[in-house]
Every structure is written in C-alpha cells, then in structure tokens.
A and B are shown apart, each in its own frame.
Chain A
Amino acid sequence: MTTYSFDDDSVVVIIGSGAGGGTLANELCQKGIPVVLLEAGERQSSATFINDEWPSFQQLSWGDTRTTSGTWQIARDFPNLPAWICKTVGGTTTHWAGASIRLQDHEFRARQTYGDVKGASLLDWPLTLTELEPYYARAEDKMGVTRTNDIPGLPGNNNFQVMYNGAMKLGYKHCSTGRMAINSRARAGRAQCMQLGFCFQGCKMGAKWSTLYTEIPAAEATGKLELRTQAHAVRIEHDAKGRASAVVYADAKGELHRQKGRIIAIAGNAIETPRLLLSSSSTLFPHGLANGSGMVGKHYMRHTTGSVFAEFSDPVHFYRGTIMAGLISDEVHFNPDRGFVGGYEMETVSLGPSFMAAFFNPGAWGKDFTRVMDNYTHLAGMWIVGEDMPRESNRITLSNDTKDRLGIPVANVHYDDHPNDIAMREHAFKQGSAVYEAVGALKTHRVPPYPSTHNLGTCRMSLKEADGVCNKHGQCHEVPNLFISDGSQFTTSGAENPTLTIVSLAIRQADYIAESLKTKAA
C-alpha cells in the first residue's frame, strides 16, 4: 500500500472521494501523479451495503449537524438536514440513482438565453458544450452509461410502465428508460443490474457506477494513491506568496494532522467545500481562502424539485427495480411561454415504507396520511428536477452559534425559492399529476422536496474574477494551485442530474492539472 509522508509537498491533495474527487484522483494517478485522497467517512463495500432504508442512511449519510434558514420548506421540515449526501468512501456516488444526462448547449449560456431575470444572478459558464463534449464522451464510457457506447438501455419496471403510458396519453414524445450509469449488461468487471430496488442504499450488485469500486481501486492499482479514510479536512493553509501549501485534517480520534501538497483540490460537495474555504481565512485572505470576490458560498443551488405520487386501483409495486427507472424529457427545453425560464425532467422515483412515511408529507399524521400508506403497493411516483436560479442571497455561511465536534462552526444553508422556481414547480406538479391522471390515478399527491441531493454553485466558475471563485478549469482565480473539483463549480444548475457533468469536469481538470505540472502554470 502506497503511503506518503506528511511533509511530502510533491503530492496532489484531494479532499473528498465522490464523483469529483474520486474521479480526479484516478485520472491523476493514471498519469503517474502522486495523490493523497482525504475522505471524511469510512470505507464500505457492496458486501457491507444494507438493503434497508434507515440502517443504510445511518451507514452512508452525512449526518453531522448543519443549520438552515430561508423560506424553503426544508428549513421547516428538516432544519438540521438540508442535504441528503454521503460521508463515506465514494461520497454520494454510493447513493445516487444513476441518471447521466448531458447539460444542454443553451444551459451553458443561461444569462444570454434567459436574459436578465430579476432577483437572480445568472451568468454564462466560461465553458461551452462543445468544449465539454469530448469529456462527456470519456465520462460516459468510463461510467458505462446506457444508450451510449453501444450499451443497451435498461428494462423499465412497473413504475416506469405507469409513467410511460401516462406520458404517451398526455402527448409527450420523449419517455424512455434513459441514460443511466447502471449496467444493463455486465461490463468493465461489474455485474448486470438485477433490479434490486436499492440504488439509494449503495448498489450491492456493483451494477451502478460509484467511485468506491471503480475509480478508487483503479487509482490504488497504479501505486500512486494513498486514500486516508475518516480524515476530515478542517483548514487549508497557504504560504507567504498566497499559494495553498497544506491541508489540516482531523482523524477518527479528532487528532489533527497536516498534509503538505503541491496542488490542493476540494471536492467536499457544495456545502462543505465553501465551508472549508470560509474556515480557512487568514491575514492574507481575511474573508476566506480564494474569496477575494466575496463569492465563496454564494449562489447555492439545489434544483427545483418535488415529487408526484399517485394512487391506483391496481397494484404497481413501484419499489421493485431501479429507483430512477426512466424519465420524461419533453419539459426540459427552454420555453418561456410556460411562465418560467429553464426546464425540468420528470424521473421515476420510489421509496420504501420507511422513507415514504418520513418524506411523503413531513409532519403529517392521522387518517389522511395513513390511508396513503395503506395503499403503498398501489403507488407510482416521479421526482421533478429542474433548473433553479442562482441568487447571491442563497448561500452557505459559517454558523454563528453551532459548532461541530472539533469546535469549527457548522455550515448554515440559506435558501429562498425564486419566483421562477415556484412557477416551475407548480407547472411540474400539474404536468406530473396529469401524467398519472391520464392512466386512471385515483388520487395524486404533491410531495415537497427532500433534503437536497443536488448541491451546486457555491464556488462558481466565471470568466471575470469578480463574478465567481474559479475559472473554467476549476482553478481558483486567487490561488492558482487550489482547485474546486465538485458541483460547487457549476455556474448555473441546468436541469439535468449533475453527476455526469461533475465527472466530465474532473476528467478535464485532471488533464489541465497534469499539463500545468509540466509547464509549472499552477
């Protein structure tokens, strides 16, 4: 097993082992670059994953306290759990559902396409779809995305069948089992999906792509990776010239260590990444590292979401098979006639009784609630995921009064729905209900957003230094050897599930870092 000394300043230190950090680590190791990968959580495996919702949640989730504020319903329903993301090797790629869709061309130019939306700080990405396309192709091949690279689509389950029939009756044209990073056939040493129905709980087949059992072992095999688990980054240090020099992290016992590095890349998800930068303030960077623009933590986006569940007179057993079994893409395009900019996808979702009870209508009790639960086997469900508006006031800050076990202020997540988000959600709720009513739903239910799985934008890419935190390679404007490697980079959210884009950006960033090391540009 490869180990590096704490004083070895030739290594790249990566914080976080999920879609961004895990991929970046492997890509760099494949090029022969030494990497220390710090992961706050423990290492699980397909063998230790649990087919039971709450026990699995305990095993994988980031349960450390956070606080919330703002008018979003999450602040009321789950005040200390704003995000449903993971603290484990592989990060949220253990929990994700596998939907792998490219952002659309115009979504990279949201400001130009949507115009000046009042109360939003829209900005065009400093990157185009054309520039990212080769990396999307590499990501799709790496992840084994269905309907790319001659990989067949997945078979649809009962939940998909209900969605499909409703979509066709409603006149929608684009409904299929879509592009998923779930093996429809055995591929790359991983098994075919056996439709377990536990995508959210870590795939026990290993059929769903996760950095846990793809990128990380591949990186380890190069002899260039040292993965340190239960290593929770608390501060990034810099030298007199303002270059990032080391990461201070706490081990499982809470003891602090300092790992030096040539380059530091942060991929702690869009809540922890800005928290770490804000916690790393110094005389030279009084408002937080790389925060001269004041943009660190701002423009927090979490996608406009919600779910529609429908009761039927006949059974569906929607829990059988993949959670995101298929999607409707007819509403994903830019069409301001609907009363909002941006678009949304409708994707099947199912929950077991445990999560159904917790998330269907948080706080509800009595007969109206239990009657739906009694109809559990006769439910179909979909999740709405759409573009939300970046706003400076939607932001991650350090809590004034709540601290973690190490005495560091926890992240506060503030979010107010923009009128565009509200209009889109309303439209999506109507259309989602109509899909199910078209095939005879007895009753449809609008289900409020779950704690956020898509957390984006808090260290956004920008052409001008004043507008964001990093450039189109995720390289911080102010600190050239500091990189943002997760969804925090997103300039805008797009409507699509973000993992494929995070992976594509990480592959691209690895090429850039390798080139920079050669030319000493970073």
Chain B
Amino acid sequence: MQDVTLNRRRFLQGSGGLLLGTLIFGSGPIALLAPSRSWAMEMNTLSSDVAAKLLLVIRRVYPHDRMEDAVYAFAVKALDERASTDPSVLPLLDKGLSDLDRLAGGNWTSLDETRQVALLEEIQHSDFFILLRSTSVNSLYSNELAYQHFGYEGASFSKGGYLMRGFNDLKWLPAAPAEASPSAFS
C-alpha cells in the first residue's frame, strides 16, 4: 500500500483520484499483517469513479471470493500507470466502461454478478477487455498481498531458503528412498 499523506505534493499535481476501501476478512492473512482495516491507493490519472468501476470489472474477470479489494487495487494501479504513460489508454478505459453500461441498459455495476459476467463475455475480444485482462493478470498476482492471499511465501534468500523451512515436509506420501533423493547432509 502506498502512503497517501507522504505523497501529497504529487497527489495535488496529478489529476487522479483515490481508491479507498476496508478490509473485509478480519482474520484473513492480509488483515493480520495490515496496520489498520482501512486502506487507500492513490491514482495518478484515473478518477476515483473510474478506478472503483475498474476494480469491480477486474474482480469479475478474476473472481476470488475471499480476496480483499485491497489486492485488486494493485491491478487498478497498474492500469493507472499504463494510462499515465500512454495517452491512448484512458479513452480506451472510459469507452470500455461506457460500453458495459450501454450493454447493461443503464449501470453495469448495479447488475447481479451472473449478468455482469455475461456482459463481460460479450466484450472479451475487445481492446478494452484485452488490455484490462493482460495488465491485471501480471499485477493482481504479483504483489506481496496476493502472495499472502495464496499462501505463497515469496522471497526466500533473506530467510535462508527453504532447506530448513519445509522444502521436503510433505507427509501424505512416503518419502523417496535415499538413492532417488539423498539427504542434504552427509
């Protein structure tokens, strides 16, 4: 998470909004690490409204029922970064969201989940969807909060690797014999 107050100057300069949320799963792996239940992600280019809508679209594209919005916010942030460096991105995102509303006959976000997904299927070959999907897949699953969510322990060098931390702790199958899998120590 980025600290909003520390970057006030840039915040005031940029035209972007804020993505705000609250952790839902009080005893989940992320809440246990977080200093507080509420979180914020600063946007450089995207407005708060567009950012919030994109977050919901990404949640429907990559649905993990027990994943915090705070993790999805990283994918929104990645789209924000794309929009900040490539001027063609913001119009594409705006158009994609308005196309969804048009297909919904009003407000896509107010539809039920099944209907929302059905409309996403209709536009899955559009430039908007492809950009959103390909950007999200490389950011949603590549941050410390996602690693916590999936139970991935991540960077290991600073912890001495896994040699003494369970690299061969599997107990539900018999251990392979020494000729196939020798001990690490003579």
Real complex partners, A and B?
yes
- A residues sitting closer than 8 Å to B (CB atoms) are 51-54, 152-158, 160-162, 164-165, 175-177, 184-185, 192-198, 204-205, 314-317, 319-321, 326, 352-354, 356-358, 363, 365-367, 369-370, 373-374, 376-377, 439
Q: List CB contacts (< 8 Å) of B78-125 with chain A.
A: 117, 124
Q: Can you name the residue of chain A whose Cβ is closest to the Cβ of B141?
A: A357
A54 partner residues in chain B, CB cutoff 8 A: 138, 142
Given pairs A164-B181, A176-B181, A314-B172, 9 additional interface contacts (CB within 8 A): A51-B156, A157-B167, A161-B168, A194-B160, A195-B161, A197-B167, A198-B156, A315-B170, A320-B165
A373→B160 CA distance, assembly (Å): 26
Q: Can you name the residue of chain B whose Cβ is closest to the Cβ of A156?
A: B181
With A196-B161, A370-B63 known to touch, is A160 a contact of B184 (CB < 8 Å)? no
B16-43 near A? 1/0 per residue, CB < 8 Å? 0000000000000000000000000000
A197 partner residues in chain B, CB cutoff 8 A: 156, 161-162, 167
A243→B182 CA distance, assembly (Å): 52
Q: Which of B142, B153, B170, B172 has the most CB of A within 10 A?
A: B170
Q: Are B157 and A204 in contact (CB under 8 A)?
A: yes
Residue of B138, B161, B165, B180 near A177 (CB, 8 A) is: B180
With A195-B162, A197-B161, A354-B142 known to touch, is A162 a contact of B154 (CB < 8 Å)? no
With A366-B63, A367-B63 known to touch, is A374 a contact of B184 (CB < 8 Å)? no
B137 partner residues in chain A, CB cutoff 8 A: 357-358, 365
Q: Can you name the residue of chain A whose Cβ is closest to the Cβ of B173?
A: A165
5 example contacts (A-B, Cβ-Cβ < 8 A) are as follows: A51-B158, A155-B167, A320-B167, A366-B61, A366-B117
B157 partner residues in chain A, CB cutoff 8 A: 51, 196, 198, 204-205
A196 partner residues in chain B, CB cutoff 8 A: 156-157, 161-162
Q: Are B170 and A51 in contact (CB under 8 A)?
A: no
With A155-B182, A316-B170, A353-B142 known to touch, is A52 a contact of B154 (CB < 8 Å)? yes
Q: Are A319 and B170 in contact (CB under 8 A)?
A: no
A315 partner residues in chain B, CB cutoff 8 A: 170
Q: Are B162 and A157 in contact (CB under 8 A)?
A: yes
By secondary structure, the A interface counts as loop
Q: Are A370 and B155 in contact (CB under 8 A)?
A: no
Q: Are B64 and A373 in contact (CB under 8 A)?
A: yes
A326 partner residues in chain B, CB cutoff 8 A: 180-181
Q: List CB contacts (< 8 Å) of B124-155 with chain A.
A: 124, 133, 137-138, 140-142, 146-147, 150-155
Q: Are B176 and A53 in contact (CB under 8 A)?
A: no
- B residues sitting closer than 8 Å to A (CB atoms) are 61-64, 117, 124, 133, 137-138, 140-142, 146-147, 150-158, 160-163, 165-170, 172-176, 179-184, 186
Q: Are A184 and B176 in contact (CB under 8 A)?
A: no
B146 partner residues in chain A, CB cutoff 8 A: 353
Residue of B61, B138, B180, B181 near A365 (CB, 8 A) is: B61
Determine how close the nearest CB of chain B comes to the CB of A469; give it in whole angstroms.
38
B183 partner residues in chain A, CB cutoff 8 A: 155
Q: Are A156 and B142 in contact (CB under 8 A)?
A: no
Residue of A162, A366, A376 near B173 (CB, 8 A) is: A162
Q: Are B181 and A319 in contact (CB under 8 A)?
A: no
A357→B61 CA distance, assembly (Å): 13
Q: Are B154 and A365 in contact (CB under 8 A)?
A: no
Q: Which of B152, B161, B162 has the most CB of A within 10 A?
A: B161
Residue of A175, A194, A316, A369 near B180 (CB, 8 A) is: A175
Q: Which of A161, A175, A316 has the most CB of B within 10 A?
A: A161
With A176-B181, A357-B140, A373-B64 known to touch, is A439 a contact of B173 (CB < 8 Å)? yes
Residue of B62, B124, B172 near A369 (CB, 8 A) is: B62
A197→B152 CA distance, assembly (Å): 11
Q: Are B117 and A161 in contact (CB under 8 A)?
A: no
A204→B162 CA distance, assembly (Å): 13
Q: Are A155 and B184 in contact (CB under 8 A)?
A: yes
Q: Can you name the residue of chain B whose Cβ is closest to the Cβ of A374?
A: B64
A164→B138 CA distance, assembly (Å): 32
With A157-B162, A165-B174, A314-B172 known to touch, is A319 a contact of B141 (CB < 8 Å)? no
Q: Are A373 and B150 in contact (CB under 8 A)?
A: yes
Determine how close the nearest CB of chain A comes to the CB of B63; give it in whole angstroms.
5
Q: Are A194 and B61 in contact (CB under 8 A)?
A: no
Q: Can you name the residue of chain A whose Cβ is closest to the Cβ of B58?
A: A365
Determine how close the nearest CB of chain B comes to the CB of A436; give it in whole angstroms.
12
B172 partner residues in chain A, CB cutoff 8 A: 314
